Amino acid sequence: EAGVTQFPSHSVIEKGQTVTLRCDPISGHDNLYWYRRVMGKEIKFLLHFVKESKQDESGMPNNRFLAERTGGTYSTLKVQPAELEDSGVYFCASSSLFTPGQQETQYFGPGTRLLVL
Partner 1 sequence: GNSVTQMEGPVTLSEEAFLTINCTYTATGYPSLFWYVQYPGEGLQLLLKATKADDKGSNKGFEATYRKETTSFHLEKGSVQVSDSAVYFCALTDSGGYQKVTFGTGTKLQVIP
Task: Give the residue with the Cβ less far from partner 1, 4 or 82.
Answer: 4
DSSP secondary structure of the chain: ----EEE-SEEEE-TT--EEEEEEPPTT--EEEEEEE-TTS-EEEEEEEETTEEEE-TT--STTEEEE-GGGS-EEEEESS--GGG-EEEEEEEEPPP-TTS----EE---EEEEE-
Number of residues located near partner 1, criterion CB under 8 A: 31
Task: State the nearest-atom distance from the C-beta of 17 to partner 1, in Å.
Answer: 26
Binding mask 22-61 for partner 1 (x = CB under 8 A): ---------x-x-x-x--xxxxxx--x-x----xx--x--
Binding mask 69-108 for partner 1 (x = CB under 8 A): ----------------------x-x----x-x--xxxxxx
Task: State the nearest-atom distance from the C-beta of 69 to partner 1, in Å.
Answer: 15
